[in-house]
Structure 1
Amino acid sequence: MKFDNYEDIIQITPLWTGERFANGRPKVPEDILRRMRRITLEEAWGPLWHRGYHYQFEGDLKMIHPNKVIVGRAVTAVMVPMRPDLHQTLLNYGHEQEGRHGFFNQWVIDSLEEDDVVVVDMFDKVYRGTFVGGNLSTAIASRTKRGGAVIWGGIRDTQQVIEIENINVYYRGSDPTAIGDVTLVGMNGPTRIGRAICLPGDVVLGTPAGIVFVPAHLAEITVVNAEKSQVRDIFGFVRLKEGVYSTAQIDASWGVSLWQDFLSWFEQDQAASEYRHLTWDAELAEARNREESGPANDVRV
């Protein structure tokens, strides 16, 4: 058994075709992470659900900063209850063969890069299941800058961790005991957080409502879909206030004339300026095709 293994990571993330870290972990571009910070949990969740990714959300977690959104690339880990023979074998292997230092949780945190989020299955262990405390949370903040941790288990030193403002930590419970009686059996492999699954390199979107794990290969399309929905809503609100269109017209599939009105507004109005990297050729072509085929009354969702 090898930890953080390049071949294993490549094998389980074949749909990602972009840049990777040296260990093979997908490296979703910084621009996508930046744009992901502006979308809601539901906007991220919807495109995944409709593509058959039904186990990407978990909401049954506490959080250090309830109103703080975090976005980052997942570094995953799996812990199991300690069995002495397995425990000592893997601890020795990590120290002697892979040159790692300290206990298992330190191995994971020592691997972090900027914009990473630690995602750890601690099998819901809180007593002696405290993956981080004040020191390791400070290390996470130093390494990731604005990332954090999602821990299906415990934390300690909660009063100290609350003082770290640039990250967020999602966890199941807190306890004063140190970590113990656990063994790391996977690093940067598939990881379960409650009813959700996370792979290394997934984009972690942490919100006040919970966590969504966005597969790396779907991160860009998720953001684009969300941004298009946002800017269409801005336009819709403007035209509804002006009395130009009814709610039925705004909510239905748009015809060519409405699309042309939107595109004129999109190119000129200051409210659309931060969305002008988006393109609308496909939507306009679809509207033209619908009109050539006959009237459409389907409602936009």
Structure 2
Amino acid sequence: MKFNDREEIISLTPLWRGERFADGRPKVAASYLEALRNMTLEEVWKPIYVKGYENQFEGDLYTLHDDGRKLVGRAVTCSFCPARPDLHMAAFEQGAKEHRKGNYNQWVIDSLEEGDVVVADLYDKVYKGTFLGGNLTTAIAAKTKNGGGVIWGGIRDVEQMREAASVQVYYRGIDPTPIREVVMTGFNTVTRIGKAVCLPGDIVFGAGGGVLFIPSHLVAEVVEGAAKTHIKDIFGFEMISKNLFTTAQIDKNVWTEDMLDKLIRFIGEDERGLPYRSLDWSAEYYAALHGDSSDTQTAL
């Protein structure tokens, strides 16, 4: 048993080709995190869903702050199971070898860096499963600046937690009891949050009533794909309102060459298109020319 093991993290994320943290987690550039803050859940979800990543979203969670703020950051994961004395002893002995202090949740919080988000699977334990309280949420705010947590379990000291105004936390329930009778079985390894799977270094995107875990190697593609969806929506609403295109045309997966030409012209001439003028639409033109122009499947 090892916790936060660099070699294991690298082996779990072989498709990542960029910079890594000292612990081995993929270090997705901060510029992508900032870009994601301006995107919607549906815009971000689509590019990974169409690639087969269908188990990345969980919506059955509460939020610490109900003001619509997003949670965006790099995942630091951990998983727990019910207490068993010999397993707990082995885990704490390993923690001592790794010079870890305090309880399991403190080990995780102590490892955080700016832009991180804790992703903790407490197997939906709320009573004595409160991963975060006032002190640790304050520590998260100090270490991550604007990160937070996704807890498949409980939290406590909610009034104190809300004083850490820069963070957002998703959780399953509230209970005044401290965390007890659990053993951490994994730290920066594969972690399940409800119906979703999260790996260390995934980008946590909390918005629109749930949390999406974006594989690190797909983030750049997601940001570009989401940007395309965004400007197509702006253009599409404009065309529908002017009766230039029907909703059936706009909602098709593959747009015609004529529609793409009008979209490119719109991007170049309308000030709303300014942030999107560097996007490459060659793949869309290829689909328009070589795909099935009679395709009636609606866009996701």
What's the TM-score once normalised by structure 2's chain length? 0.92
1:268 match? 269
Alpha carbons 2:43, 2:230 under 8 Å: kept: no
2:129 match? 129
2:185 match? 185
1:82 match? 83
Number of aligned residue pairs: give it: 297
1:283 Cα deviation from its structure 2 partner = 1.9
Alignment gaps of 5+ in structure 1: none
Which consecutive aligned stretches of 4+ in structure 1 deviate over 4 angstroms post-superposition?
A: none
Q: Any idea what SS the aligned residue of 1:172 has?
A: strand
The whole-number CA distance in structure 2 between the counterparts of 1:150 and 1:255 is 41
2:11 match? 11
Q: Please state if 1:250 is matched with 2:259.
A: no
1:204 Cα deviation from its structure 2 partner = 0.7
Q: Please state if 1:27 is matched with 2:22.
A: no
Q: Any idea what SS the aligned residue of 1:112 has?
A: coil
The 1:98–1:261 alpha-carbon spacing in structure 2 relative to 1, beyond 3 Å, is same
What are the Cα deviations for residues 195-232 of structure 1, in whole angstroms up to 9, with x where unaligned? 21111011111114211111111222222222101101
What are the Cα deviations for residues 166-195 of structure 1, in whole angstroms up to 9, with x where unaligned? 111111111111111112121000011112
1:295 Cα deviation from its structure 2 partner = 5.5
More displaced 10-residue stretch of structure 1: 38-47 or 247-256: 247-256
The whole-number CA distance in structure 2 between the counterparts of 1:174 and 1:257 is 54
The 1:81–1:297 alpha-carbon spacing in structure 2 relative to 1, beyond 3 Å, is closer
Where do residues 206-217 of structure 1 align in structure 2 (5 Å cutoff)? Answer: 206-217=206-217
1:156 match? 156
The whole-number CA distance in structure 2 between the counterparts of 1:295 and 1:20 is 43
What's the TM-score once normalised by structure 1's chain length? 0.92
Q: Sequence identity, in percent?
A: 50
What are the Cα deviations for residues 93-129 of structure 1, in whole angstroms up to 9, with x where unaligned? 212x211111111110011111111000111111111
The whole-number CA distance in structure 2 between the counterparts of 1:58 and 1:247 is 29
Q: Any idea what SS the aligned residue of 2:75 has?
A: strand
More displaced 10-residue stretch of structure 1: 18-27 or 272-281: 272-281
RMSD: 1.9
1:289 Cα deviation from its structure 2 partner = 4.1
What are the Cα deviations for residues 219-250 of structure 1, in whole angstroms up to 9, with x where unaligned? 22222222101101111222333333333443
